[in-house]
Chains A and B, each alone.
Chain A
Amino acid sequence: MRSTRAAAVGAATLSLALAVSACGGGTSTGGGSDASPKTLTYWASNQGASIAVDKQVLQPELEKFQRQTGIKVKLEVVPWSDLLNRILTAATSGQGPDVLNIGNTWSASLQATGALLPWDAKNFARIGGKDRFAASALASTGAPGKDPAAVPLYSMAYALYYNKKIFADAGLTRPPATWAELVADGRKIRQRGKQALGAEGSNPSENIHHVFVLAKQHGADFFTPDGRPDFTNDGAVAAVKQYVDLMAKDKVVPPGNAEYAQNQSVSDFAKGRTAMLLWQSAAANLKSQGMKESDYGVAPVPVQSGSPGTGTQVNSMAAGINIAVFKNTHNLDGATRFVKFMTGDAEQKILNKAYSSIPPVTSAQSDPAFAAPATAVLRDTLARSAAALPQVVDESQFETAVGTAVKELFADAAAGRAVTTASVKARLQKAQQQMPAK
């Protein structure tokens, strides 16, 4: 009898508890508070060779922060494949980290969701002012004319990595400076039985980074100045065709690379199978795959003619990672202090060295470590010839739509189908139709 009653009470209580907990979710939609001043949650993007490497790099720094402020930071390193979806989910539910890393190209898209704390003059003052950051890095923190949605943390640029031995064997004395030279050098390398240039044909984001730069070199853009998609203008079509032609017509990119999406092209380069690689801040990655720094050289990404600069001489996107504060944070003060800590000179030097990136904080750039030849190329590219990807709210849709179009064109090229101006234009037309209606 007693057990029956106990079971009844238990069942009723459990049902009640379930009902209550179901209603409990998603109630915190406030605008940030200081409810829990002693802890912070931090979502870091995966910058090192693996998530374990990132934890090794970041954990000592977080402990340093705890010693200085008494605030304990709970770290989670989120892989790139999950990061954007995790942020979207956090934005929807209001349950997320206090501080997080975002790819700098997502800034305007995420800014539009209203989930991130805007960095107005007052907030910037709390971390030492806007002037501490390089202008090129600040250009990728949100839509123009609005308060930035994030603060630059690491800056990266594309460079041409080349295998010194393969170049010497092919009788080449210096890396190519123009695309025509790259194609000619690639032919010589192929005659020696090596692959010339690696590419990640099935990775939409990588494709975008390259065709964006090539479009700049053709004097074109994928968006009109007022932010409307304009994928089929002549310059954009020529840019996409030039990139896919590296495989289709010039044969410097091997067909197998059309299905690469998991950084296989970096492995190929590290293992000495490919002579050249266009990649952003690859040093740490190559080192972790066992390639010695003396085995490869670093040169600026080729241009159509002349030397890198602004306008049509752009040869890299202004790549990088921004750090943002989640608007629903329970520790606004602590979050701001953490951003100040991470963008301080000392941490900027330590972290950017570990990730072979460039500090977006100008006062930290003077460290001799960033003047080594390999890093100097990246630093100079960022300073002189890098351009920010379009800071429009539809940026992430653009990456997927056009990046996928390039992927399909690579698939055509790999299958031996002709890649023509008309076929490129048709794919881009389709990509443009997929963009959200305005």
Chain B
Amino acid sequence: MTTTVETGKSAVSHSSPGAAAPGPRRTGRLRRGSLPYLLLLPALALELLVHLVPMVIGITMSFKELTQFYLRDWGAAPWSGIGNYRVSVDFDAPVGRALLHSFLVTCGFTVLSVGLCWLIGTAAAICMQDAFRGRGLLRALFLVPYALPVYAAVITWVFMFQHDNGLVNHVLHDQLHLTGKPSFWLIGDNSFVALLVVSVWKGWPFAFLIVMAGLQTIPRELYEAAALDGAGVWQQIRRITLPSLRSVNQVLVLVLFLWTFNDFNTPYVMFGKAAPEAADLISVHIYQASFVTWNFGTGSAMSVLLLLFLLVVTGVYLALTSRGRRAADA
């Protein structure tokens, strides 16, 4: 740490050779010059500690055969090369096949959840654009799911989804008679629907919030001019609102995608350690692969693969959307 301070000091002194100030004043300026870097140091150290070190350890673990036999002294676990990765992506074997299944379920789930979150959030934001009585109240109300603690919110949903005395079955079956018999929501195939409902319920207020902020930047005159030209509401939305929201949507969809794809809390609180096949999201699957089989090497390898996948998707997405935007701007 001291070395960095010294280097910083000398670098600054060399970079200002033209300064003819006497000694004391010069060092004072130097100190001030290096101070910002010094003040950044704690943040940098923390960033290393909190983010990078665990990541490096995780990546290291993925190359080791870290099973229960080496837990106590995991430095001594033998290196397995790319063995863990080979197991993870061998789709003819059970482990790889299960991972692939989980990956596909997660992809489907993410597309649906992000799509619905965006659709509902944008629709609500556009409806809330014009002032009317009670708009503030509604806006606040819409944000409640986003503000609630995840665990408390999801456990409430679990109660509502219960087969015997849950609210959902009470409404759908007992009152509306939509189903022939009470459905199971927390086990079996319906669990996918239940998970999707909770995820959208939890995620759309964020989309609503961001789109609402984006709408504030669109000048009112555009709409007025369009109305004068005879454009209806749909045309205004299609030709003015959506194109103006393009950059907002670019970030919004990316963030929603990353959050949803990685979401651990919702499925874990809903289904516990053994998620039903239909709702076997990848984050819980990886957790299971490491903590249930006590094979932390394979679990880490799967995590690294997930990280790579998300990096690639993010990179391609940003490249495509940015190019599209540049073309549109030009």
Contacts and interface: CB of A to CB of B under 8 A. Distances in A.
Interface of A: 1, 4-5, 7-8, 11-12, 14-16, 18-19, 22, 29, 85, 88, 91-92, 94, 109, 112-115, 201-202, 204, 255-256, 258-259, 261, 327, 393, 396-397, 400-401, 403-404, 407-408, 410-412, 414-415, 430, 433-436
B22 to A, nearest CB: 15
B273 A259 contact: no
B68 A414 contact: no
Given A256-B164, A261-B272, A397-B292, A8 B72 contact: no
Interface of B: 1-2, 5, 28, 31-32, 34-35, 38-39, 41-42, 44-46, 48-49, 53, 67-69, 71-74, 93-95, 98, 162-164, 182, 184, 186-189, 272-274, 276-277, 288, 291-295
B28 A1 contact: yes
A204 B275 CA distance: 11
Contacts of B162: 259
B72 A92 contact: yes
B173 to A, nearest CB: 13
A261 B162 CA distance: 12
B188 A112 contact: no
A18 B68 contact: no
B75 to A, nearest CB: 9
Contacts of B93: 433
A101 B68 CA distance: 19
Given A19-B1, A436-B67, A410 B187 contact: yes
A11 B39 contact: yes
A201 B184 CA distance: 13
B71 A92 contact: yes
Contacts of B164: 256
12 contacts: A1-B28, A18-B45, A22-B49, A88-B71, A92-B71, A109-B68, A109-B294, A114-B72, A202-B186, A202-B274, A255-B163, A400-B293
Nearest to B49: A22
A202 B187 contact: yes
A400 B163 contact: no
Contact of A112 (B5, B32, B69): B69
Given A8-B31, A29-B73, A258 B187 contact: yes
4 A-B pairs with least C-beta separation: A433-B94, A411-B187, A15-B41, A256-B164
Contact of B276 (A109, A411, A436): A411
Nearest to B46: A18
A438 to B, nearest CB: 12
Nearest to A258: B187
A404 B292 CA distance: 11
Contacts of A12: 1-2, 5, 38, 41
Contacts of A4: 31-32, 35
A404 B274 contact: yes
Contacts of A327: 72
A434 B274 contact: no
A392 B187 CA distance: 30
Given A22-B53, A113-B71, A434 B187 contact: no
Contacts of A404: 274
B69 A434 contact: no
Nearest to B73: A29
A86 to B, nearest CB: 12
A255 B188 CA distance: 13
Given A8-B31, A114-B72, A414-B184, 19 more contacts: A5-B31, A8-B38, A11-B42, A12-B1, A14-B45, A18-B46, A19-B45, A22-B45, A22-B49, A29-B73, A113-B68, A115-B71, A115-B72, A259-B186, A401-B292, A415-B189, A434-B95, A436-B67, A436-B295
